[in-house]
A and B are shown apart, each in its own frame.
Chain A
Amino acid sequence: MIVDIVQTLLNGLAAGAAYALLGVGFTMMFGVMRRLNLSYGATLMFGGYLGALLASRAGGALPDAALVLLAAAVTVAGATLAGLYVERLCFAPLRGRSGVAAMVSSFAVWMQIEEFSTWLLPLHTNPYPAPFNVASWQLGALTLRPEHLLTLLVAVLVAILLHRLLRASRFGLAVRTLSDSPAAAQAVGIDAGRTTLLAFLAASTVGGIGAWLVLVADQQVTPMFGMWSMAKGLIAMMLGGLGSIPGAVAGGLLLGVLEASGQALFGPQIRELIAWGALFLVLVLRPGGLFGRAAFDLDIAAHQRL
């Protein structure tokens, strides 16, 4: 019984660590732009498709370890590159203008990137190179899966690096001022356009790493991945409080644990329903998120009416 609970918690935290990275990328974009990037999931899917494409073309020619590393690099770089495209086309031209237009524009580009990706690899299921041959280890009654450990390790590492980048660098200072108060950031001479672009790219990279961790665990990528990763990132972000990076980490972990416990208790069909249900409840009861400052975040939203 205790073992089951610990096992469920462990599975949930591992899944949640990847959700956390998806949420952090999403929330960073929102923080600097005050805009929702609907093509976020599609850009991550594009990265995943590039990785799978590489495996399908160069699968036999490369040693497995090299293929895994190369796929990781291609996935993260692809997500970042697609992010660059989205920022330049949908958000930079409309900065300071209509937020709804920017959002709808990013939706149109979601469709575009998704179709382009499926043109690269038309099959529904595409194998994605995974690093581990062992399926799992037994530790007493607990089952440890290597990709779970990898996810936890990488997520912690990325969180530490990102924290250092945002707290201890000049770029981080610019990002935080822009997220905190765009008007004041302008007054102290921060170049909003350039900072937004760079933060957007950094966020795409973080999201790309999160996507890679998910794909390695799934060992495949499908056309549903764009929608799926956006949903997970969105729920993680909103549970924790819009625009807050620590909130997104907490929200991601909570989402992972909620899903795992829901599945353990009621079966796999209920998993997604629980995730969306939790989001709806939190929005209705505590819109600022479980960890955010409700009043403050709502102020921003009301002020920056989309």
Chain B
Amino acid sequence: MSDFAVGLISNIGMITFVALSAYLLLVSGSISFGQQAYFGLGAYAAGIATTLWDWPLALGLAFGALTGALGGGLVGALTRRLHGLYFAIATLAFAEMTRLALDLWRYQRPIGGELVGPDGPNGFAGIRRAFTDGWEPLSFMILIWVLLAGTMLVLILFERSRSGAALRGAGEDPVLARALGTDVARLRVNTAAAAGAIAGLGGGLYAHLNTYIEPRLFDVMLGVHALAYGIIGGLGTAFGPLIGVLIDIGILESSRLFQGWRMVVFGGLVALLLIWRPRGLLDEATVRRLRRLFTTPARHA
């Protein structure tokens, strides 16, 4: 496989983590413009753990996910009274605060004769743990996709469980859900923490693949793109975000068909798509229809 293809496929996988994170909140009825914060926090935390504290890669990634969960849970708890746009803007404000704080933050140590660690706006270079441990770009790509597949499997199983149904119910009608005995506030905080963990895991992978991160990478653009991928792909299934990422990065960016005009084309296409299908390509009704298509013949046979 060419280096270009490996890089592209790895990229799609990592961005899908952020998109899944935004999607999980969407399903629970919350719009977040700020999932990039937990991606960034996860990247910094995992990088610090493996580089400055010399933790093994697996522990570093877990620490990144945990940091994302803590960040997401904290914001979820602080904003548990907020709905709709108010929640969305609060998440954006927190994400921008995080980015600007990382711009001010310095935490460096000499390692091998060199100062390593977060250096404000100059970023954090030398996160080489994955490669000194013998990971190749190809094997790392596989690692990304195995973790992504695991995350998606958990999400899909969760969506089919009773708690998953409760989550969707709380998203569609919080008042009714509360009347049916769902603790909506707690559910929302837990969802925010889980979404933070997913983004944080993606961030840890990102830091170790690129070996260099800087606060600028985790700006609003990333967060709103993640949200948009979730909607474009469809709110009916956890495959939706992956499809959204595939359309944008997989087809439009990689094909370079519209070089220099990608956003003009993509932007226009998305606007038209959403007039036609306001809940995305794989919306709930389509998913139900597809599911029937695959299950009914079996029952008849």
Contacts and interface: CB of A to CB of B under 8 A. Distances in A.
Q: Is the interface of B mostly helix, strand, loop or mixed?
A: helix
B267 A109 contact: yes
A272 B270 contact: no
Interface residues of A, number: 47
Contacts of B88: 36, 306
B97 A90 contact: no
B55 interface: no
A21 interface: no
Contacts of B14: none
Interface stretch (B3-11, B38-46, B201-209, B227-235): B227-235
B281 interface: no
A112 B263 contact: yes
A115 interface: yes
A269 B84 contact: no
Interface string A270-306: 1011001101100110010000000000100110111
Interface in B82-106: 82-86, 88-90, 92-94, 96-97, 100-101, 103-104
Interface string A75-116: 000000000000001100110011011111101111111111
Contacts of A242: 85-86
Chain A CB count within 10 A is highest, among B85, B88, B92, for B85
B94 A93 contact: no
Interface bracket on B: 35 or more
Contacts of A280: 90, 93-94, 97
B90 A284 contact: yes
A203 interface: no
A9 interface: no
B84 A306 contact: yes
Nearest to B267: A112
Nearest to B97: A276
Nearest to A38: B224
B278 interface: yes
Interface of B: 26, 29, 31, 78-79, 81-86, 88-90, 92-94, 96-97, 100-101, 103-104, 220-221, 224, 227-228, 231-232, 260-264, 266-271, 274-275, 278-279
25 contacts: A36-B88, A94-B274, A97-B278, A98-B278, A101-B278, A101-B279, A103-B31, A104-B274, A108-B228, A109-B267, A110-B267, A112-B263, A112-B264, A112-B266, A231-B96, A270-B104, A276-B93, A279-B89, A283-B79, A283-B82, A283-B86, A284-B78, A284-B82, A287-B86, A306-B31
Interface of A: 36, 38, 89-90, 93-94, 97-98, 100-105, 107-116, 119, 227, 231, 234, 238, 242, 269-270, 272-273, 276-277, 279-280, 283-284, 287, 298, 301-302, 304-306
